[in-house]
């Protein structure tokens, strides 16, 4: 390796000096004999050669280090402390602007929050309820207790379920109309009658004297089991399917069934009024 450096120095003295510096070249020349006669030449690397050159130059105390070579000695690096940044105090005008900005942002955030709440409440209002409301399956209560309340022991008194807008009534007729088997009245002995009058939609109350459902709007009347009795209504009351699940009465208010047509009379026990009418005939 020293021969290569010596040949380079001999062949390209200017470039060699330009690369390593004049003083480095002189130092290499002084130590050439030491390099050629000492340790294994094959072990020399460019870095070790540079270290030797550096040591030689330092011994001569006349080596001139350029700033480019200085990073090789980490101990020579000096770090100057950075002076702290002096912050200017805010002027009153700047204080006013910050307050205004704060208020503007507070108003903006409040408005956005209001819009978000309004949007969510609107969506929840428009979104269809999938459980627990009208239009879904509703658990009306224990089957045996309901049967007891609306049946013979309870005086055949209908039970109104406001959540589903229907009356639960007892039924023990012949079932000579398709709707009775559709809503399960023949199996359960219970019907769920929609309280909406099929004439023009008024709510129809039950009259405990006549045992009829009597509409106060135009006088339509329906029997206990929802069949047409008299008045302008075109048919009997509409109704919902009923099923018994685990001893509970489940009414599907999402599947409205059209009531039986006029002239249907399937239960003679309630074919006529049992007493005075609540809504007199006009």
Residues that bind ligand FES (CB under 6 A): 197, 199-202, 215, 217-220, 231-233
Q: What is the DSSP letter of 151?
A: S
CB 28 within 8 Å of CB 46: no
Could you tell me the smallest distance in angstroms from the CB atom of residue 279 to ligand FES?
A: 9
CB of 124 to ligand FES, least distance (A): 32
Q: Write down the least CB distance from residue 235 to ligand FES, Å.
A: 12
In whole angstroms, how close is the CB of 201 to ligand FES at the nearest point?
Answer: 6
Q: What angle, rounded to 10 degrees, do the helices at 2-11 and 22-37 form?
A: 140
229 contacts 223 by C-beta, under 8 angstroms: yes
Helix (H) or strand (E) holding 232: none
CB of 236 to ligand FES, least distance (A): 13
- Which of residues 234 and 247 has its CB atom nearest to ligand FES in the complex? 234
Question: Is beta strand 239-240 parallel, antiparallel or unpaired with respect to 242-245?
Answer: unpaired
List b or e across 64-103, with b for residues whose CB sees 16 or more CB atoms inside 10 angstroms: ebeeeeeeeeeeeeeeeeeeeeeeeeeeeeeeeeeeeeee
Nearest to ligand FES of 45, 282 (CB atom): 282
Looking at the Cβ atoms of 101 and 203, the one nearer to ligand FES is 203
Looking at the Cβ atoms of 140 and 224, the one nearer to ligand FES is 224
CA–CA gap between residue 44 and residue 52 (Å, rounded): 10
Backbone CA torsion sign across 185, 170, 137, 139: negative
CB 227 within 8 A of CB 265: yes
Closest-CA residue to 171 (of 194, 188, 195, 196): 188
Return the number of the residue (150 or 197) whose C-beta is nearest ligand FES.
197
> Can you tell me whether residue 190 is helix, strand or coil?
strand
58 or 200, CB closer to ligand FES? 200
- Least separation in angstroms between CB 198 and ligand FES: 8
CB of residue 218 to ligand FES, shortest distance in Å:
3
Of 52 and 193, the one with the shorter C-beta distance to ligand FES is 193
């Amino acid at each position: 390796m020293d021969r290569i450096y010596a040949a380079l120095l001999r062949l390209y003295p200017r470039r060699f000096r330009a690369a390593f510096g004049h003083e480095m070249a002189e130092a290499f020349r002084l130590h050439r004999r030491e390099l050629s006669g000492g340790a294994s030449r094959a072990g020399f690397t460019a870095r070790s050669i540079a270290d030797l050159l550096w040591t030689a130059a330092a011994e001569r105390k006349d080596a001139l280090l350029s700033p480019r070579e200085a990073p090789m000695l980490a101990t020579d690096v000096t770090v100057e402390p950075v002076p702290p940044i002096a912050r200017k105090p805010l002027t009153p005008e700047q204080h006013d602007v910050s307050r205004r900005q704060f208020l503007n942002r507070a108003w903006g955030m409040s408005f956005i929050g209001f819009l978000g709440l309004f949007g969510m409440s609107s969506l929840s209002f428009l979104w269809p309820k999938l459980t627990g409301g009208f239009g879904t399956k509703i658990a009306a209560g224990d089957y045996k207790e309901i049967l007891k309340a609306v049946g013979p022991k309870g005086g055949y008194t209908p039970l109104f379920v406001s959540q589903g807008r229907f009356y639960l009534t007892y039924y023990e007729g012949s079932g000579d109309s398709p709707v009775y088997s559709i809503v399960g009245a023949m199996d359960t002995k219970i019907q769920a009658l929609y309280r909406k009058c099929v004439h023009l939609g008024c709510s129809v109350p039950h009259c405990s004297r006549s045992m009829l459902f009597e509409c106060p709007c135009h006088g339509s009347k329906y029997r206990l089991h929802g069949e047409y009795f008299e008045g302008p209504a075109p048919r009997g009351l509409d109704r919902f399917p009923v099923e018994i699940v685990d001893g509970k009465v489940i009414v599907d208010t999402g599947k409205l069934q059209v009531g039986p047509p006029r002239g249907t009379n399937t239960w003679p026990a309630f074919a006529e009024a049992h007493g005075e009418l609540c809504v007199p005939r006009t």
